[in-house]
Amino acid sequence: MTGGAYPDTVWSSLLRGAAGDETARRDAMGRLFSRYWRPVWASVRYGWNAAPEEAEDIVQGFFLDLLERDALSGLDPDRGRFRSFLKASLKHYMLKIRRDAARLKRGGDVRVVPLEGTGDVVAAPGDPEEIFEAEWVSTVLGRAISALERDLRSTGRELRWEVFSRHDLADDPPSYSELAEQLGVSQGDVRNHLHRARQALRVLVSRQVADYALDSDDAERELRHLLG
């Protein structure tokens, strides 16, 4: 893939915001917040050792700060990927609030997205950036896998989902022959279903990545990072 902006992405919305479309800018930040708050929360909670309630406040304040400073509109793909920018911004923000002990602002005239499901985010205490990375991967892949399941089940391809989930999502996956016997199909059918499900998952992950990638080269790097 060659460099070039993706249409209809967070970044196109931010560019419209820079041109005076405030609604587009806020919508872009809302999309980022609702989709990717989990890595930020996990990093703050387990990497920076914040209490759960404090971590929620910090996440809200961090994204609000990015919006108020219009920090995302001037991102340059040549200077690195968005994920690196977000990690660096979070570290700077954490150092600032820890140093200043400033009271975090919440909400104001910005619609705050509730942090639902924080109890599902569990990590061992450790390096904030490593925790961020792990939860980032989990979030992107989790959304794509959920979308894959919905699509396959809604279109009558439950068998393909069963093959994929029992093999690729299992901690100790069965062999092709074992899986074929379990489901009453041939090994060739198992291979075919896995191949098609993996192809579909790659497309769904690509869509997730394209919404926040700075350009097509950044998206390709993210895909390699997520799927190998």
Q: What are 136's two structure tokens?
A: 């980032």
pLDDT tens per residue, range 24-64: 777 777 777 877 888 999 999 989 888 888 888 888 889 88
**Three-class DSSP labels, 124-169:** CCCCHHHHHHHHHHHHHHHHHHHHHHHHHHHCCCHHHHHHHHHHHC
- For residue 147, the model assigns a pLDDT of 94
Q: What is the pLDDT of residue 13?
A: 58
Closest Cα partner for 184 from 165, 209, 159? 159
Average per-residue pLDDT for the chain: 79
pTM of the model: 0.65
Give the model confidence (pLDDT) of 98-111 as tens digits: 776 544 444 444 44
The pLDDT of residue 219 is 80
List the domain boundaries for the chain.
10-104+120-227
Note whether 8 and 22 are within 8 A (CB). no
Digit-coded pLDDT (tens) for 123-145: 666 788 888 888 888 888 888 99
Distance of alpha carbon 152 from alpha carbon 137, whole angstroms: 22
Q: Cα angle at 42 between 138 and 46, to 5 degrees?
A: 130
Predicted pLDDT of residue 196: 96
Residue 167's alpha-carbon distances to 2, 12, 116, 144, 163, in angstroms, are 34, 38, 30, 17, 6
Q: Which residue has the tokens 């820079």?
A: 18
Structure token digits, residue 7: 């249409």
Q: Cα–Cα distance between 7 and 10 in angstroms, integer? A: 9
Residue 176 has pLDDT above 90, yes or no: yes
Whole-angstrom distance, CA of residue 176 vs CA of residue 55: 44
Sign of CA dihedral 162, 163, 164, 168: positive
The rounded distance, in Å, linking the Cα atoms of 114 and 177 is 45
Residue 33 tokens, joined:
């917040």
Tell me what pLDDT residue 95 has. 87
* Model confidence pLDDT, tens digit, residues 207-227: 888 777 777 787 888 888 888
74 has pLDDT over 60 = yes
Nearest to 125 by CA among 46, 54, 52: 46
3-state secondary structure of 107: coil
